[in-house]
Amino acid sequence: MDVSSTRPRRVAVLLAGGVGVRIGLDIPKQLIKVAGKTLLEHTLAALHEHAMVDEIVVMMAPGHLDAVRAIVRDGGYDKVSAIHEGGATRNETTQRALETLGPEESHVLFHEAVRPLVSQRIITECFEALHQHPAVDVAIPSADTIIEVGPDNTIRNIPSRAALRRGQTPQAFRSSVLRHAYELAGQDPTFEATDDCTVVLRYLPDEPIWVVRGDERNMKVTDPIDVYLADKLFQLVTTEAPEPLSEDDYRAALSGRTVVVFGGSYGIGADICRLAEQHGARVFSFSRSSTGTHVERRADLVAAAERVMAESGRIDHVVNTAGVLPRGALLDTSEETVFAATDINYLAPVFIAQVFHPHLAVTRGSMLLFTSSSYTRGRSGYSLYSSAKAATVNLTQALADEWAGDGVRVNCVNPERTATPMRTKAFGDEPAGSLLESEAVARTSLDVMVSDFTGHVIDVRRDSPSA
């Protein structure tokens, strides 16, 4: 592991030892498929993609380690350093994980595999908090009144909600602190705890436990309705953009690489070309106006790929920003417009994927597509556009799964209303300051393109870091 000597290694322990009793399954619930992937893989991907995670240890239910090995192998999760059987209890599983890590001081984050919607922010704040605090929990305020009930099923107490929180995971610790807490717990014949923060609180009461703000979406899939809710959330949820890189990091990631941009003559595409070139990439821009390239024609795409390979010998990243924005009621739309909009907005990404995948597989590169906020709900007057953008999101997620074994990453950027020639043509002049600048979207696109992300829809808003 390439870990800086100035800090402890950061390890994420994926707790996957539960079974699907409440859901009524004969397999562990973390192997249930939601939104096309198992819960375990969704959660593993969130940890694997985080820049602060150095390595991952998976603690799996006995008898199901082969399923995890297959997921790790097929998904290219090279941060996974160990896969072990979990214990009979949560506490026993934690102790086995600590034994795996050895005596070296580490910053360890424990997260339940059945919380697949954990955010990058939460992971970041947990690791950052360990610089000042020995233990960290994640919790959210309780919107419901909490009541304490006695053995006779009558209310004994109603605590004030102001001081109450609903606990989630991750929980994070300096490994020496958690190890010491468990050593003391082992000397207590009455020891019993349902989570690791309880162990620290009970046996090392002088060690403060910091609380990181959780997220309502960081739900735990426990009951049958949770499976349904998680599936719906995955359809709607977008991913936070990766942290912007330094100028040196951009150059290291792009120098000597070849970037192909369709729709690169103006707007976001042109800005992506310019920024990538500034940081050392060799950029090939194709568009109808500049090169006579029609993205909806397979022959044009094949010709573009052949030209790039002849001149550069490699293709590392492919970006498609080409699109049209027809407006008007569907009943008033001509057949010509229907075909043009469908061909350019949907079939073009499909053909680009087919033509360029063999080249991206060689370099283990990435493909970047673009959607619109209208993909979550069709809008009057935008039926062709919004439906194609919804299809692009599904295409992104499907290809990310299909191509994971080849090491090819596929993502989709979802920018807020952006000042581009296409938008001006459709809507005319709009109030200054009400739109994103295309360069801000381009910079975030660059961050996503060179990141480890795959299968994500990344929001870009005016308050985003790169914007």
Query: Catalytic amino acids?
Result: 385
Amino acid type, 433: G
Q: Cα-Cα-Cα-Cα dihedral of 138, 235, 445, 313, to 10°? A: 120
Tell me the C-alpha distance between 380 and 357, whole Å. 35
Who's near 248: CB < 8 A, 6+ residues apart?
Answer: none
Going across the sheet that includes 366-370, the strands are: 282-286, 258-262, 317-320, 366-370, 409-415, 457-460
Residue 61 three-state SS? coil
Establish how many alpha carbons lie within 13 A of residue 30's alpha carbon, considering only the half-sphere containing its beta carbon: 27
> What count of other Cβ atoms lies within 10 Å of the Cβ of residue 350?
15
438-443 long-range Cβ contacts below 8 angstroms, 24+ apart = 438/267, 438/268, 438/270, 438/271, 439/271, 439/275, 440/464, 440/466, 440/467, 441/268, 441/271, 441/413, 441/415, 441/467, 442/268, 442/271, 442/272, 442/274, 442/275, 443/244, 443/271, 443/275
**Bridge partners of residue 420, in order along the sequence:** none
